[in-house]
Each structure stands twice: as C-alpha cells, then as structure tokens.
Structure 1
Amino acid sequence: MTPSLLRTKFQKPILGDRILLRPRLLQRLDEGLAAKVTLVTAAAGYGKSTVVGSWIDALAARHDAWLSLDEEDNHFPRFLLYLVAAINTCYPHCCQDVSQLVQEHTDATIEMLTTVIVNDLAQQATPLVLVLDDVHRINDAAIFAFLTRLIEYAPSQLHLVLISRVDPPLPLNRWRARGFLSELRLHDLSFSRAETAEFLRGHLDHEPPAALIDTLHRRTEGWVVGNWLALLALRGRTDYAEFALHFEENAGRYAADYLVDEVLSAQPADVQRFLVSTAILNRFCAELSAAVLQIDSDEAQAQIAYLARVNLFLIELSTPAFWYRYHHQFQDMLLSRLQMRYGQAAIADLHRRAAAWLAAHRLIGEALSHLAAIPDHAAIADLIEQQRVNTLNELAFWELEAWLSQVPQPLLNQRAHLLVSMAWVKHDRVDNEACRDLSERAKILLQHESALFSETDRQVLTAELIALELSTEPGMHPETSRALIRQSWALLRRNLTHTHCSVVLSLAYASQQLGDLGFALEIVRATLAEASAWPLVARCRIAHAAGFFYFCSGNSAEAVQQFQQNLVLATQHNLLIIGIISRHGLGAVADVQNRLEDAEEHHLNVVNRPYLTSGRDAVVDMYALIGLYARRNEPKKSRLLVEQLKEEAQLMGKSFFLEQVTALQAYADLTCGDVKRALRWALGTMHHEMETTADRIPSIRARILLADGSDACLALADQSVQRLIKFYSSSHVWYRQAEALILLALVREKQANPDAATTHLTAAVELAVPKGGVGLFMGYGVVMVHMLRRLRHQPTTSKLADLVLVVLDAEEESRSQNVDSSDLPDPLTEREMEVLELLADRYTNKEIARQLIVSHHTVRNHTASIYDKLQVSDRRAAVARAHALGLLPASP
C-alpha cells in the first residue's frame, strides 16, 4: 500500500578519504546535542552536508537517520511518509501508524500525528539523530507547523538536524530563548585561511605558494566548493603562480563561473556533453543516463566511472554504487551551461526521454517532474490517466491529488478520466458537493465526446459515474438505486481488471443498504475471484466487505473466516488499518456469540488505536467494552479506557468523535453506579437524527433513561429507541436491529405493558438467536430473565428462549463466583436479593409486596436491612451501590 519510496533519499553523503576533517565544527555539533535541534544554514557549496555527514559517521551510542528533501516533498502526506521511512531505517516498526494515517486519512490533524510520533520515539531505548537535508526546498506551511510541534514536544531520544540554505520559517527566536536551538552558520562553515592552506596541501602534488593560498581565500571567501573547483582546475598543473595571476586578472567575473569554465574546458567533449545533459536529473544511474543521451548503457557507466575517478562532484546515493547525483551547487552550474549550449527544443527532448524511462520503471513522480519542466501538460495528463487506476487501487488519494494539481484547470476540464479521478479524491474526503460537480462535468464530456473513448473506457467511466452518484445522492428512490447498481455492475463485471476497489465497494455497500445482501456478496465474490492482480490492500478491502455481508446475512462462520484471513495478511504485510477493521469485525461477531475473552481482545486493539479509523470503530468497540466490563463486575476499567479515548478525541479534533466519547463517559458512569451523573448527560442531550451505525448516542441515552425508570424518562427513552428502530430497519444490520428491539421491549416492560414487551422481545429473539446472537440478551439483569420466561409459553419461541436462558443462568453463576468478597458488605439474604432486584426495576413497596406475596411491613424491614448492609440511605443509592459491587448486573 505504501507508494514506492526512493531509497536513495535515505543515504547520507558517502564521504571519500580526501575530505578535510574540521574538528572545530565536529565539536560544535557534539555540543549541540544538548539542544533539541541543530540548524545548519549557509549558501550552496559551503560543505553543510559534508560536515554533518562526517559528524554522523563519528557518532557513538546513537542511531542516525538521513532524509534528503526535494521539491516533490512539498506535500505533507508525502513528507510524512518519507520521514517515517527514514526513522524506520533505525527503528523498523516505529511510527507505522502515521504511515497508514497519511495514506488513508488525509484529515488526520498535525496534533495527532506528532503525538503518535513523539510517543513512539519516546519508547525507543537508543537515541536518534534525524537529519533533514535541503530543508530550503520545502515551502509547505503544514510541514513547518508539524516540525514546530515535533521539535517542541520531542522526547529526549530525538535530536533533529536541519540543513538549509536559508532560515526555515520556524520559531527560531523562541527556541534560542528556551535553549532548544544550536546553530552553525556561514561564518562557521567558511574555510579559514589555515583550512584553505591545509586543504590545498592535502591534494596538490607540490607545496602551494602563499600567493595562491591568499588569492583563493580572498576570491572564494572561504567557499568550500570554490576551493574544490580551483583544485580541479589546478590538477596536472605546476604553474600555481600563473593560475593565481589569471584568477586575479579575471576578478571582474564571478569566481564560480571562471572556475567552472576552467574545469569543464579541461574535460573531453563527450564528458562535457554527459555532464550538462545529465544535469537535468536529480539522481541518475547508467541506464537512465543512457536513455537521456541515447548512448549505450556501458558507455554511460564508463562516463560515470570517469567522473568518480576524477572527483567531479559526483555523490554516490547507494551501496553498492548504482544511483548518483551531482553536488547541488555543481548541478546548478551545469544547468546554466546547458541553457547556454542547447536550445529549448533539445532540452525538452532530454526531459521527455528521462520521463519515458522513469515512467517505464514506475517512478511516476519523477517522470511528472520532468514533463512539468518542459512544460508538457498534455503529456502529464496522459501519464496520470495511465496510472490512475493502479493509484486508486493503492488508496493513494493524496498522491493522485498531488499529481492532478500539476494539470491546469482548463485541461483538467477536458479530460473525463482526470475529472473522475479527482471526484474519487473528493469522495474520499466526503466532499459530496465537489464530487457531484466533478462527476457532472465528466458525464457531459462522456456524452458529448463519446467517439474519443474506447468501448472499455466508456463502460468503465460510466460505471464509475454511477457509483459516485449512488454514494453522493442518499435520497434516491430504492428502485432507482437498485436499477443503477445493476447497470453499473453489468458494465464493470467484464472490465474488473480496468477498474478499482472504490467502485466495487460503492456498488456492494449500496446493495447491502437496500437489503440486497445476496447481490452485494455476488459483487465482492466475483471481484475477489477475478481481480487477483490488484494490490493487496485493495483485495483486503473487498474481502472485509465480504466478511461484513456474510455477518449481515447471518453466516458468522464465513464472516469470521474472511476477517481472520485479513488479519493474518495485515500482520504479515504491516497493513495496520486492515488489521484494525478486521479486529473490529471479529469483535462484533464475538459480542453477539457471547465469547467475551475474544471480544475483549479485539475491542481493546481497536480502542487503543482510534485514529486509524477516524474514531468511528473505536466508539463502537468502546461501547461494547463498557457493557462487557459491567457484566464482569469490572466497571472501573471502562472509566479508565474512556478517559484515554477522550484524550485521543481531543487530539483528533473531530466533533463526531468528541460527542460520542462524551456519551461513552455517561454510559461508563451508569455502569459504575453514578446514575445521577449519567442522567444529567442524558437529559441535556439534544435529539438528533442518526446518520451512521457508529452513532451510539441514542442507544446510550436510552439505556440511561431506562435505568432511571421514571415516567418522563421512559417517554424520552421511547423516543430514542424509536429512532434506533427507524434507522436500523433500513440498515439491514440484524444485530443492531435486535439490540433496538430489546431496548424497546425493556421500555414497554417498565411502562407496565407486558404484552407489547413480549411482542418486541419475540421479534428480537426470532431475529437474533437462530443466527447465534445469544450475546445480545446478556447484561440486562433479572428483568430479562422474567421476560424470557414468558416466551416459554409461546410455541414458536419457547426453544429459542430456553437457549438464551441457559446462557443467562451460566453467566449469573460465573458472575457471583467472580465477585471480590473483600469489597462486599454483610451478605444479603436470598429474599433481600429479590427485593434489591425489584428495587432496581423501580417497583414500589406495594408492588414488591404483591410480587413476592408478602406484607408491606415485611418489605419495609427488608429494605431497611438492605440500606444498612450497603451503608446507604435510599433506594437509588442502594441500587447504585449494588451495581458498583457487582451484586446487580449492569444497567441496560
């Protein structure tokens, strides 16, 4: 799933044995480790990277990572991917969550991303020095906002080194004041006269005269590359004084121009041609160079070997040597000579040949950069059209968006493929308005210019446009939707190798929402069978949908198989988000099947990484955990987890997630016995329409109002449950429908309407139990037992009710054995437990007397004894205390 990364960007300069060691600078860098960040700034050619590289080589007891930046990194997701990959060169599994987030969740906040990175780095035992080279190439404000937060919150294990030609837009003054910043600047990096002399003596065959040293030092002003150029110009000469004289005589020319011309004029013609032609390449190998110059690759390799031998500013980027680049300053000088020697058409041909080779080797970003340098926007559009399906199948929406940004808007409006591609980007962002607008423009092009498209292209684009329409028009009539789904699938079915997973998933989920589970399964099964060449992440997404559809159709065994297979693949291939959604699915199945240990394991994994699914899966799994811990008499665990989830929600800054976590807090309060606090939230929560099955607010609100049990609260609970019934009746998710029916049955029971309660519970039992959903009836206390016993008298449900009652009895026995006796007050008698359970169900003393066939006076004695043993003064406090002690099961 991760886009191809240029491994050469992680290679620090490979230093030869001829560099000048500069102890004073190495000591400065050592001292800078006491700060959080070292900034190395100077103009091009002052040896910034070389000094830092030599210092890194000498570091002990620390890991080091290097990242060379370029203009293509001016896109926050791409920058983060490379940053994490650089860190992974030292810590292979560190910060992997961030890689997944930036690829699949472009709305992830800077606060959340930096928190994940900082927390992961803080767990590493060995300190890390992370070098970012060529920071001046970055101008994205989001990247600098990220770096600011990263540096200010960096753990002691991290020291950042920034190498730049100019001061980056970071709060340097604030960092200086706080002692966060160490600096090396131009005056530090410039050669002193002594270093100039040492440098020349180390590389010339004869002792340089003082006049040469003085001239070079004065004219170059300590410029390191200038000294290297002078050295190359002096190679093979003994007339040092004459060279110094000529250098002085040309004082009117820029020193660099004079020296570069001296060096180039000394090279053979074929070497000069190679140098200026390959200057357009930010990195090159023999094959790429051969393609650009239209020469044999052996000849290109021989040219590279010559440049390395004579030290012509060639830097190796890989070990063993394969990729190379020129020193940036030397490359700039060569590019100026290229402009002087060749016309624009010839230079454009060089770029086109480079782009063709790079595209053939799937280095699309670099290929597009060369086409943009011409600029050839039509060729850029052509290349994106060729690559768009594979990029969408890798879910690399951010990368596709970056490519599309290079196409001028007028041209984009003329390309249906590109408009549809951008529509999928907007669809991923849930920007329905922009998605509809782009789709409409593409549809018009497809209708008016049909002859320009191949039959395959017409069918695929039509299918995509239908899928986008279904995704962005929720109010469409069901029969219209059904007809469009089948039309789109008929077009897509024969062209699966030419499309991507987002189209298939849109059609399949739209079918499921219409209740056509069989057709949804047909779509995903056919895709899994025929799209074997798709990227793994795309196939895993389709397989996950298959698991969900199997679950919705009541085939839990097949669902578990799909989710489990995906979890294995996710673990093997480090697909973290696939792993999380697989656990979410496995946890849901375990819940309904009452496999508490399995459910807890899966739910905890999801809740501990909420940001991987924008918090939505974490909300559902936390809701399940609260009920699970209440049933196990461990409600305090819920509060701790919800507090952690609240911190994550605040970092993510998503209003939906924050609202849901507030509701989860109230639910945890309820299970811990703090009914008053939970009720304050429930009564203060506004009514709202459900838009997603991840919305747990209506369910939580209904449970809290049920626990209060007053007429007013029961009326409000009825409203919440009716919304649940309405929403889930159209969602075709049976286990959510069953939960809503159970809550409605409980409301009717407490409203003294046992016939209606029995009707709704019958519907829930008939819906859930044949599918193995006995776990849905757990955790509701004695009232559920009484209601299920009534179902025994109905021929159609007696056996189903018995299946649930057997599990309830086993759980009650287990629960009573697991209560920590050290937390219990004086034991309650069997009769007092019966009274307590009826108190919890909000029976009056008269109703309790009638239910137990005892006198009103006897009930008063029992309640007084209960209050005394529980050390409370009223019935509400008694019920809350009993919940906290585990004497009563969790409130619904």
Structure 2
Amino acid sequence: MLLPAKLSRPRQLKNVVIRQRLLDKLGDAKNYHLVLLTSPAGYGKTTMVTQWAEQLPHVGWLSLDEQDNFSERFAAYLVESVQQATDQFCQRSSVMANKRQYANLTALVSQLLVELSQWPEHLYLVLDDYHQITSNEIHDAMRFFIRNQPDNVTLVILSRMIPTLGIARLRIRERLLEIDSQQLAFTHDEAQQFFECRLPTPVAKEQSDKLCDEVAGWVTAFQLLVISSGIDAHPPLSGQGLAGISASHLNEYLVEEVINRTQPQTREFLLRCGLLRSMCHQLIEAVTGYPNSQQWLEEIERQGLFVQRLDDAGQWFCFHPLFASFLRQRCALEMAEQLPAIHQAAAQGWLDLGYPNEAIQHALSSDNSDLLITILSDYGWTLFNHSELALLNKCLASFSSEQLVAYPKLLLLRAWLAQSQHRISEAELLLVDAETLLQEHHIEINRELNAEFQALRAQVAINNGQLEAAESYARHSLDELPAHNFYARIVATSVIGEVLHCRAQLEQGLKVMQQCELMAIEHGVFHYALWSLLQQSEILIAQGLLQAAYEVQVRAFQLVETEHLQQLPMHEFLLRLRSQLLWSWGRLDESEQAARKGLDVIAHYPARQQLQCLAMLAKCDLVRGNLDNARVHLSRCENLLSGGYNHIDWIINVDKPRVIYWQMTGDRNAALQWLATTMQPDGAENHFLQGQWRNIARAQIIVGQYQEAEKTLTMLNKNAEQLGLVSDLNRNYLILNSLYWHSDQPVLAQKALIEALRLASRTGFISHFVIEGEILAQQLRQLLQLDVLGELETQRAHSVLRQIDQHDKHKVAHFDEQFVEQLLQRPDVPELVRVSPLTTREWQVLGLIYSGFSNEQIATELDVAATTIKTHIRNLYQKLGISHRREAIAQAQQFLQMMGYASESE
C-alpha cells in the first residue's frame, strides 16, 4: 500500500531553465558519499535535482512528508525506492521491510547496505524534503547509512535545513558535496532566461537584473511574479512591494495576487484539493465533486498554479509544498464548517483506491470517531499484518476502552499490538480490561472471537511462566477455533508445546512442536515455524540427542535464510542454542563465533538481552583457562543483572559460569554470599530448574557443604532419570564426581565418573568434563591405567584429556625456573627446601605428580626412561622429607598457596 507518487521522480517542467553551472557541479556527485542541497522553500532544489537525474540510469527517489516519521513507514518507502532503482536487487531487505522482520531501522539499513555493496552499478538515492523528518530513530539509521555506505552509492538529500547526520565529519573527509541557497539562487542570466521562457513580452535586461536582486534570486518569487502578471493583464513584472519578500509575507501575497484573482469555482477547487498530499482524478472527484477532474488539473497546471506531475503517465499530481501548506491554512479558515466532510470524502476516496493507511490520516483529521472506527473494523487487521503498528497505536490511543467496548475485535487488536511489540505486561492488562468491560456491558462475543482472545491469553500466560493458565487457555482456544482460523490455532498449538516442554513431557512436547512447525510453514507464519524449531532443538538437547538437535538447527538456519528472518530476536536464540551445543562438543572457536553473531543480532535491543550470549563467551574462556577474559564477560553480566527485572532462565544461565569461575579461583566467600541470596526452586521437574539446582550443588561443594550437596544431587538424579533428562543426568554425575572427590570418597567418585563417561557416549559432552580441570584429569588417567572403561568411554576419556592438555593452564606450568626462584625468596618456605634444593627436572616431576600423571606418563611427557623417573622421584622425596605420592601432592599444593595460586583440590 505504498503511494506511487512518493516513489516517482518528479516530471521535468516545460520551459525549465538549464542551469549548467549547477549541473556541472552535480556531475561530480559519483565521487561523494553525500550530496546535500539546503535552502528555504522555493529555491528550486527538487527541480534542479530532477533536471540532473534525468539522464541517470539508477536513481531511487523518495519524497518525504510528516507521516514518514513512523519508522515502519519510512523503512518500507526507503527500501522500495532502492528496489525500483536496482531492478528489485535487494530482495532480502524488501522482505524484511514488508514483514517488519528487523530489530529496528538501523538493523534493516545494515542489511540494505550489505546488498547494495553487491550491486554492480552506481546508485543515486534521493531523499526529498528531509526536513520533514524529526524522528531520532530515523536520523540514527541514516547516520549509520552514511557511515557505512559502499562506494557505489551516493545519497542525495534535499532539505530546508542542514540535517543532523554527521555532516561535519563528511566535510572534513571531503566526502560531502554541498549546494546551499546562495548557489541555488538564480543569477542574472538565469533570471533573464526564466522570464523569456514564461512571458510573451520580452523583459529588459536591466529590469530582470533589478528584480533578481530584489528577491535575491528566489525562484518562487519569479514564479509568483509571472503568475501575477498573467492574471491581472497589467504591465508585466512590476516589482513594487516585492523587494525583500519573505516567508512571513508569502501568505498575504498568495491571497492577494493568486487566490483572489482566480474564479470562485477554481478557488474552491484549489482549497479542497489542497488537503490531499498527493492526488489523482478519483481523489479529486471525491473531495470536489467535479467531473472531468483531469481537465481541471491540466488547466491549473497550464495556469502555473504550483501543481506538479509526479509520474510520467500524468496520473498523480501534487501542489508545491509551499502552496499546499498555504491552501490547507486557507481551507481551514474559509471552509471550516465543510472541512470534516471534505476529510471524510478524502478518506472514502483513498479507501476506494485501496489505501486504508492514507484514509485513516483523513479520518483522524475529520474528528469523526465513527468513520475511524469503521475503517479500523474493516481494515485494522490488514494494517496489522502489513506492520502499520505505529499508525494503529495512534488510532486506537484516540479511543477509550469504553468507546471500543462495542467493537471486541478492536479490543483484541489493541492487546495484540502490545504483545507484538513485546509490551507483555501491558498486553495482559489490556486483556483483563477487555474481559471486564465486555462483562460489565453484557456484550456477548461469538465462539470464534472468544477463542482468539483465549489464544492471546495463552501466549501472555506462557510468557509469564504461568503454565497451567497457559495450557487451559490454549486448549480451550483449540476446541473452539474453526479450521480456517489458522493464525490463532498456530499460536495456541505453540503454547501447548511449550507447556509440555517446560513440564519435561519431552516426547509429547516434541510431537506438538513438530505439528506446529508444519502448520506454520503451510500458512506462511514463519516466525512461529522458527519458534517451533527452536523448541524442538531444546527438547532434543534435554533428551541427550544432540546430533538430532544439531540437524533441527540446520533446518532452522535454512528457514532464517530463505524467509529473511535474520533480524528477529529468535535468530539470536538460534545462534545461542548452536553456541551451547558446539560448546558441549568442545568446538570452542565455533561456539564463540555463534555467540558473537547472536550479540550482533540483538545489538540494537535493550542491553539486558545480551546476558546469555555473554555467559556463553565466559564459558568458552573458562574451558580455555582464560580466567581474565571470563571475568570481563562476567562483570558485564553482573552489571546487566543489576539493571532491573530479569527472566529466571537468564539468571540461571549466567550463574553457571559465575559459580564455575568461583570454583576455579577458590572464591569461597563469593559462593557463600550467593548461596545465601539465590533462589531455590520448589522442584527440579525440567532442565531449567535442574540447571539452577546444579549451580547450588556446585556452590555447596565450594564452601564445603558436602552433605547438602549430596542431598541436592540425589534429588536431581532421581528427577532426571524419571523424566528422561539425559543431558542433565550427565551433568549431574560430573558434579557428583567432584563432590565425592572433595569429600575424600574416591571409590564413589570413580563410579560417578564412569557413569558420566557412559552417558557422554550418547550426549557427546566434552567441555562439561574439561571445565572440571586437573582434578578430573587425574581421575581419568587413573581409570585409563586401570583399563576398566569400555571402548567408547576410553575414547571419550582420551578426547577430554587432549582438550585439558590444550586449554587448561594446569599446575605443572607453575613449576618453571621463574616460579622456583620466586618461591625460594619467600621467608616462609620450608628450610629443608633451601638446604637441599630440587633440580629443575625434579621440580618438573613434582608438578606432573601434582597434576595426576603416573610414573609411565611422566616418563612419556619428559621423554626419558621410566627408571630415570623413579630415580628423580626417590631424590625429591628424600629432599622434601616425604615418603609417598599423596604427601608430594600436598607439598606441591602448599607451594602453590604460598605463591598466591588457588588450589583446585580444596
């Protein structure tokens, strides 16, 4: 429903003055990022650029007005202007704009620039009347456009003022071509040419020069003079009273010299048509009632009454903005009583042409609430589906709930608007308000509409974590909805699938989400199709079927690509799920890349939504042993968490790397403080709650609350086994292993680790093991020595050890020469170490013993014979006054603590 007139390059006027000096200047436009023409009204900016662009092959044109300050409307017109200039080259941007599948205007502009960079020709994009734009969001998006536009694009802006778009920066970089009012003003020669083209009687050069000086080359004044001369039949171009003509005098001049000199019928025609921002013969007949409107237009054009053709076919016209503004003011003064009726006629004319969005503008101006209600009732959902959200908000905001109570569909539409714009709490309030009003006024709604209300209630309830209410609403909705009401059925089905997922009824939830996906694809509701794929992936991960989850994600990425869903927040969710899965498999570089792409998707959303991707980056760094980097990411998370309400899932996912960081750094105080304040769920019936209890168990181990941790993990494992939460069971056994190790129960620790390895044969987990560090590495090496693992478990153990050797900065690294030198300088170092210092090799052997290496593994690591290692061990035992391996580990641990390194075995 875009107006062709706004996207058409204005038709070049007859007898136009060829202004070669400006054409030559514009001839260099290709070498600039921005061409800026600024001047007050009436200096010929549009005419000049139209003349220049006449011979250019790829020019996108957008004529702006005050209604374009709505970002959705601006986006649609901006992309369509590019599409018309590039032969529909930017398809992805077009789909995103039409379906409003972008985070904000800047995100859409970013995609548009990507596609334009691949366009093989040079594009000129003209934004006329940019001074009409007051929206900061649009200004920000255009600043982004200018900063990042490719070299094959030149932006041309026509404005009455210098826009706030970083002009000074472009000027310094010599990427700006400026043409201001002094350059646009007519010279003496151009003024002479202008008069010669328009007047039958020659004008003396002296008189022409004088008039040009009197009006400072203002071309509109020349046009007014010509019109005045043509109407009054007096001697032409009497310049009396025109010296220093200004905008403040323009209305008076137009009244005296133009309007008052027209015939009454022409006057009324002009005043009525002046209310139309653009017009065709159907609209003109609607507001004037005059037949043969095309002839009227052509006659007015012939008289030079500021009418301009907007397309080559001569179907769409508009008045010069200056004259149009004047006509609207005069119409309000002279036809005040008729004004509402004219606006109503204009609204009906636009409706007949199929432009309800334009009709609504006149309905709003008519102050006719019945008309506005009628248009909203007939076209509200159409406008909603075309993403005219700001316009609908404006319209519905003009009505109280009492006024809308007789129109239940509009009450529903108002609530859906809030939901679609992520105003969840407001949507809930509007639903309650609607229900109360309908009951108070005893208004019965049919079964289908009631079912649509229930579908929205279900969506709001699941957003708030109200599972029972969500399921009840959704099932009631499905029972009542007819088969043809596919959108509401998809919403209700999706909610039921999500409820089953949250209750860990995984098989049933998976089937429902697969059904929802098929329905959404069939009816083109692609954002719900994507949501169902995301839910399927999460369910499969919970079941331990990570490879199947990966394949579902592949389908989701294909859907994002084919349906241009890149800027939806759900795309970030998909990237985060992919990052989590890759992290589980130990593919850290790919995991980090996916998380960073997720941050790019939500870069323009509230910063709090970055929490989970930042937590993923912290987890990648923790596995690598990059504690400083992890701390930076976690600090950002903590700052964001302090900013207000956060969804419980966000908090749980951020707490996981925080607790692991405390474990790695031995920060017992932080763990204690967190345990004292953190939320303890009532149960562990799904993988969300299992994750929180796992965080609690890990913190309990850090602070030495071993009995409490064992109770927690016993409860977790019982629920996970009953519900088939295989991935959670795998994670639980790893923490159980840590508990038994720290509580000096090596046999139970070994059993827990063997079970974790067995489960990992299904899940493919790697990083969950690696993140436990050298304590787990020691146990794995012992299991490999004992040769008690099956083939798959043995392979998993070797994979984990390789990752730990690659990423973990384990203790052996501390026993180098620099470490020993600094240690021996400490006053509290044992005297025995000073008297009988260890050799460099003996220090290396001590570090490897501490890291859990067997004698044979130490020999392999140092590439020496096993008998040599035994000699080194015997010597260092003698020098340290110890007799067995456990004492050696304790002594090494003491050295590390002296140097300020936290022990992982505490």
What displacement does 1:246 show? 12
Write the mapping of 1:253-402 to structure 2, written as runs, cut at 5 A: 254-261=252-259, 265=263, 278-285=273-280, 313-317=306-310, 323-335=316-328, 340=334, 343-344=338-339, 346-358=341-353, 360=354, 363-387=355-379, 389=381, 400-402=392-394
- Match of 2:43, SS state, is coil
Instruction: Give me the whole-angstrom Cα distance separating, in 1, the residues matched to 2:640 and 2:128.
Output: 29
Instruction: Give me the whole-angstrom Cα distance separating, in 2, the residues matched to 1:95 and 1:742.
Output: 46
Contact 1:639 1:665 in 2 (8 A): no
Instruction: Give me the whole-angstrom Cα distance separating, in 2, the residues matched to 1:407 and 1:788.
Output: 70
- Match of 2:258, SS state, is helix
Instruction: Give me the whole-angstrom Cα distance separating, in 2, the residues matched to 1:802 and 1:289.
Output: 84
Instruction: Give me the whole-angstrom Cα distance separating, in 2, the residues matched to 1:614 and 1:544.
Output: 22
State the match for 1:844 in structure 2. Answer: none
Contact 1:404 1:422 in 2 (8 A): yes
Return the match for 2:69 from 61, 67, 74.
74
Percent identity over the alignment? 18
Instruction: Give me the whole-angstrom Cα distance separating, in 2, the residues matched to 1:613 and 1:252.
Output: 46
> How big is each residue's C-alpha offset from its partner over 1:547-590, in whole Å with a ceiling of 9 and x where there is no partner?
44454455656644443233223223432135544333344444
State the match for 1:887 in structure 2. Answer: none
What displacement does 1:67 show? 4.5
Instruction: Give me the whole-angstrom Cα distance separating, in 2, the residues matched to 1:595 and 1:9.
Output: 51
What displacement does 1:372 show? 1.2
State the match for 1:574 in structure 2. Answer: 564
Instruction: Give me the whole-angstrom Cα distance separating, in 2, the residues matched to 1:295 and 1:766.
Output: 86
Matched, 1:584 2:605: no
Write the mapping of 1:437-476 to structure 2, written as runs, cut at 5 A: 437-449=429-441, 451=443, 453-472=445-464, 474=465
Write the mapping of 1:93-108 to structure 2, written as runs, cut at 5 A: none
What displacement does 1:681 show? 7.3
- Match of 1:208, SS state, is coil
State the match for 1:40 in structure 2. Answer: 38
Instruction: Give me the whole-angstrom Cα distance separating, in 2, the residues matched to 1:429 and 1:695.
Output: 29
Instruction: Give me the whole-angstrom Cα distance separating, in 2, the residues matched to 1:119 and 1:321.
Output: 33
Instruction: Give me the whole-angstrom Cα distance separating, in 1, the residues matched to 2:602 and 2:74.
Output: 23
CA distance 1:432–1:394, shift in 2 (3 Å): same
Write the mapping of 1:505-520 to structure 2, written as runs, cut at 5 A: 505-518=494-507, 520=509
Query: What amino acid is aligned across from residue 875 of structure 1 in structure 2?
Result: L
State the match for 2:877 in structure 1. Answer: 857
Contact 1:65 1:86 in 2 (8 A): yes
What displacement does 1:809 show? 1.4
What displacement does 1:457 show? 1.6
Instruction: Give me the whole-angstrom Cα distance separating, in 2, the residues matched to 1:602 and 1:253.
Output: 61
Comparing 597-606 with 648-657, greater Cα deviation is found at 648-657
- Match of 1:611, SS state, is coil
State the match for 1:197 in structure 2. Answer: 192
State the match for 1:875 in structure 2. Answer: 896
State the match for 2:46 in structure 1. Answer: 49
> How big is each residue's C-alpha offset from its partner over 1:306-365, in whole Å with a ceiling of 9 and x where there is no partner?
77788764545567776543322233345467665793364134223233135x3xx443
Instruction: Give me the whole-angstrom Cα distance separating, in 2, the residues matched to 1:579 and 1:24.
Output: 51
Contact 2:92 2:564 in 1 (8 A): no
Instruction: Give me the whole-angstrom Cα distance separating, in 2, the residues matched to 1:788 and 1:695.
Output: 29
State the match for 1:795 in structure 2. Answer: none
Instruction: Give me the whole-angstrom Cα distance separating, in 1, the residues matched to 2:59 and 2:715.
Output: 57
Instruction: Give me the whole-angstrom Cα distance separating, in 2, the residues matched to 1:698 and 1:37.
Output: 57
> How big is each residue's C-alpha offset from its partner over 1:453-477, in whole Å with a ceiling of 9 and x where there is no partner?
33322221233234434544x4x5x
State the match for 1:20 in structure 2. Answer: 17
- Match of 2:744, SS state, is coil
Write the mapping of 1:96-245 to structure 2, written as runs, cut at 5 A: 132-140=127-135, 146=140, 163-165=158-160, 191=186, 195-209=190-204, 213=208, 223-231=218-226, 241=235, 244=238
Instruction: Give me the whole-angstrom Cα distance separating, in 2, the residues matched to 1:461 and 1:344.
Output: 39
What displacement does 1:265 show? 4.6
Instruction: Give me the whole-angstrom Cα distance separating, in 1, the residues matched to 2:84 and 2:711.
Output: 56
TM-score (norm 1): 0.69
State the match for 1:847 in structure 2. Answer: none
Instruction: Give me the whole-angstrom Cα distance separating, in 2, the residues matched to 1:116 and 1:483.
Output: 42
CA distance 1:529–1:36, shift in 2 (3 Å): closer
> How big is each residue's C-alpha offset from its partner over 1:10-61, in whole Å with a ceiling of 9 and x where there is no partner?
555454464335577779999999999957242x43334334555778999x
CA distance 1:515–1:186, shift in 2 (3 Å): same
- Match of 1:241, SS state, is coil
- Match of 2:343, SS state, is helix
> How big is each residue's C-alpha offset from its partner over 1:417-474, in whole Å with a ceiling of 9 and x where there is no partner?
33433334444566554333211111123334565533322221233234434544x4
Query: What amino acid is aligned across from residue 325 of structure 2 in structure 1?
Result: D
Aligned residues: 836
Comparing 185-194 with 639-648, greater Cα deviation is found at 639-648
Instruction: Give me the whole-angstrom Cα distance separating, in 2, the residues matched to 1:500 and 1:200.
Output: 69
Matched, 1:564 2:562: no
Contact 1:389 1:498 in 2 (8 A): no
Write the mapping of 1:688-767 to structure 2, written as runs, cut at 5 A: 688-689=678-679, 711=703, 735=727, 738-739=730-731, 742-753=734-745
> How big is each residue's C-alpha offset from its partner over 1:125-150, in whole Å with a ceiling of 9 and x where there is no partner?
99998765434434446656x48986
Contact 1:315 1:326 in 2 (8 A): yes
Contact 1:543 1:562 in 2 (8 A): yes
Contact 2:659 2:671 in 1 (8 A): no
Instruction: Give me the whole-angstrom Cα distance separating, in 2, the residues matched to 1:456 and 1:661.
Output: 39
Contact 2:671 2:699 in 1 (8 A): yes
Instruction: Give me the whole-angstrom Cα distance separating, in 1, the residues matched to 2:182 and 2:159.
Output: 15
> How big is each residue's C-alpha offset from its partner over 1:184-207, in whole Å with a ceiling of 9 and x where there is no partner?
776775556664333112333441
Instruction: Give me the whole-angstrom Cα distance separating, in 1, the residues matched to 2:647 and 2:5.
Output: 42
Matched, 1:417 2:409: yes
Matched, 1:836 2:850: yes
Comparing 323-332 with 123-132, greater Cα deviation is found at 123-132
Query: What amino acid is aligned across from residue 256 of structure 1 in structure 2?
Result: L
- Match of 2:275, SS state, is coil
Comparing 642-651 with 731-740, greater Cα deviation is found at 642-651
Comparing 508-517 with 279-288, greater Cα deviation is found at 279-288
Contact 1:66 1:131 in 2 (8 A): yes
- Match of 2:38, SS state, is strand
Runs (5+) with no aligned partner, structure 1: 793-797, 841-851, 884-889
Contact 2:462 2:499 in 1 (8 A): yes
Contact 1:745 1:756 in 2 (8 A): yes
Instruction: Give me the whole-angstrom Cα distance separating, in 2, the residues matched to 1:711 and 1:724.
Output: 20
What do you get for the CA RMSD once the two structures are aligned? 6.8
Instruction: Give me the whole-angstrom Cα distance separating, in 2, the residues matched to 1:409 and 1:720.
Output: 51
> How big is each residue's C-alpha offset from its partner over 1:714-747, in whole Å with a ceiling of 9 and x where there is no partner?
8999999999999999999764575355335424
Instruction: Give me the whole-angstrom Cα distance separating, in 1, the residues matched to 2:318 and 2:641.
Output: 40
Contact 1:690 1:727 in 2 (8 A): no
> How big is each residue's C-alpha offset from its partner over 1:275-299, in whole Å with a ceiling of 9 and x where there is no partner?
6655433234566667767899xx7
Query: What amino acid is aligned across from residue 38 of structure 2 in structure 1?
Result: V
Contact 1:544 1:566 in 2 (8 A): yes
Query: What amino acid is aligned across from residue 260 of structure 1 in structure 2?
Result: V
What displacement does 1:120 show? 8.0
CA distance 1:231–1:122, shift in 2 (3 Å): same
TM-score (norm 2): 0.68
> How big is each residue's C-alpha offset from its partner over 1:113-132, in whole Å with a ceiling of 9 and x where there is no partner?
79979998999999998765
CA distance 1:105–1:817, shift in 2 (3 Å): closer
CA distance 1:873–1:514, shift in 2 (3 Å): closer
Contact 2:79 2:94 in 1 (8 A): no
Query: What amino acid is aligned across from residue 451 of structure 2 in structure 1?
Result: Q
Instruction: Give me the whole-angstrom Cα distance separating, in 2, the residues matched to 1:814 and 1:583.
Output: 24
Instruction: Give me the whole-angstrom Cα distance separating, in 2, the residues matched to 1:731 and 1:308.
Output: 78
State the match for 1:807 in structure 2. Answer: 796
Runs (5+) with no aligned partner, structure 2: 243-248, 817-839, 855-871
